[in-house]
């Protein structure tokens, strides 16, 4: 990777219209959290005082995180699929181009992921005020950071898949597969296989990594914290390496 390819990839990425759309939708997750919190407020205030103490609110950043995850995944796919022939004429050695794209997507993912997680956690707390006894923000910092990093992972997963398969439709469908279809199937499989499936789902990994309580969730607990970190990293590293491998062997 030279400063040239890095700069070129950065300019390409930032001048795509889809990049900005994806960023806007990603950060829209903060507004979504605010809207959901307002709705929850309405219900809380309408409930009789005796039932208010028992009222609980799901952590809204866990609900909306799927939006930046999916968005970065799509951005990664688009960055890989959209401009391949011209780039490889200009930069005949291929891995620097992919390295530049990886750096760009990782940087965007890092910023968007952290912004979306901390933004929605903060906004939720501002909107609900002292209702619902939410966990203090300070206690959730490790989980918010790691959940935000899962957005980077999705971006790189999209980039790797895009490089490997070169088809937007297949890659976006696969992203939906990883984020939704695989979990749905895992929930329905009984026995050890289902337990393992529920343990390696992206949604549960951040909680496993920071050692959060998983007793009331759908996720499995087969992995240790370091094992979960390794699996989360593998979701990003394996597809990107597979992309490098494919690029070295292929015509275009």
Partner 1 sequence: MRAEWIKLRSTASTHYAVGTAALVLVLGVAWTLYVDSIWHERGLRSAAAAEEGFLPVVQLAVAVIGVLAATGEYATGLIRQTLTVTPRRSRLLLDKAAVVALTAFAVSAAVLLATASAARLVGDYPMAELDVAQLLAHALAATVLSLAGLGLGVVTRSTAGAVSGVVALLFVVPGIVNLLPTPWSTRIGAFLLPNLVPQAFLPERAGLEPLAAIGLLLLYAAVPLAAAWAVFTRRDV
List interacting residues with partner 1 (CB under 8 A).
18, 32, 36, 39-40, 43, 57-58, 63-64, 66-67, 70, 74, 77-78, 167-170, 172-173, 176-177, 179-181, 184-185, 188-191, 193
Residue 134 vs 179, nearer CB to partner 1: 179
Residue 118 CA to residue 63 CA, distance in Å, equals: 13
Least CB distance from residue 63 to partner 1, whole Å? Answer: 5
Tell me if 36 sits within 8 A of 63, measured CB to CB. yes
Residue 234 CA to residue 240 CA, distance in Å, equals: 10
Least CB distance from residue 29 to partner 1, whole Å? Answer: 10
Least CB distance from residue 136 to partner 1, whole Å? Answer: 22
Residue 220 CA to residue 205 CA, distance in Å, equals: 9
Question: Per the structure block, which two tokens stand in for 82?
Answer: 């959209």
Residue 50 vs 188, nearer CB to partner 1: 188
**C-alpha distances out from residue 47 to 50, 53, 176, 212, 232, Å:** 8, 10, 37, 30, 41
Residue 11 vs 185, nearer CB to partner 1: 185
Residue 42 vs 224, nearer CB to partner 1: 42
Residue 151 vs 229, nearer CB to partner 1: 151
Residue 119 CA to residue 33 CA, distance in Å, equals: 9
Question: Per the structure block, which two tokens stand in for 140?
Answer: 């959730």
**Closest of 176, 183, 180 to residue 200, by C-alpha:** 183
Residue 39 vs 90, nearer CB to partner 1: 39
Residue 94 CA to residue 43 CA, distance in Å, equals: 56
Least CB distance from residue 92 to partner 1, whole Å? Answer: 26
Least CB distance from residue 93 to partner 1, whole Å? Answer: 28
Tell me if 80 sits within 8 A of 159, measured CB to CB. yes
Least CB distance from residue 32 to partner 1, whole Å? Answer: 8
């Amino acid at each position: 990777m030279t400063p040239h390819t890095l700069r070129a990839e950065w300019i390409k990425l930032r001048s795509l219209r889809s990049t900005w759309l994806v960023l806007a939708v990603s950060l829209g997750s903060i507004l979504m959290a605010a809207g959901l919190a307002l709705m929850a407020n309405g219900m809380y205030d309408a409930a009789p005082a005796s039932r208010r103490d028992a009222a609980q609110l799901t952590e809204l950043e866990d609900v909306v995180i799927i939006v930046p995850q999916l968005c970065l995944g799509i951005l990664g796919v688009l960055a890989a699929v959209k401009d391949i022939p011209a780039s490889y004429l200009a930069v005949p050695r291929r891995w620097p181009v992919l390295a530049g794209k990886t750096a760009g997507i990782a940087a965007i993912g890092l910023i968007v992921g952290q912004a979306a997680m901390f933004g929605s956690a903060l906004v939720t707390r501002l909107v609900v005020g002292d209702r619902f006894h939410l966990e203090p923000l300070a206690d959730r910092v490790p989980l918010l950071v790691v959940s935000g990093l899962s957005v980077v992972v999705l971006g790189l997963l999209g980039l790797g898949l895009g490089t490997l398969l070169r088809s937007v439709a297949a890659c976006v469908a696969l992203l939906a597969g990883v984020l939704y279809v695989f979990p749905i199937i895992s929930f329905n499989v009984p026995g050890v296989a289902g337990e393992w499936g529920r343990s390696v789902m992206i949604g549960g990994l951040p909680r496993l990594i920071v050692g959060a309580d998983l007793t009331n969730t759908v996720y499995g607990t087969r992995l240790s914290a370091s094992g979960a970190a390794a699996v989360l990293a593998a979701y990003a590293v394996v597809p990107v390496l597979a992309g490098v491998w494919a690029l070295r062997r292929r015509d275009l």
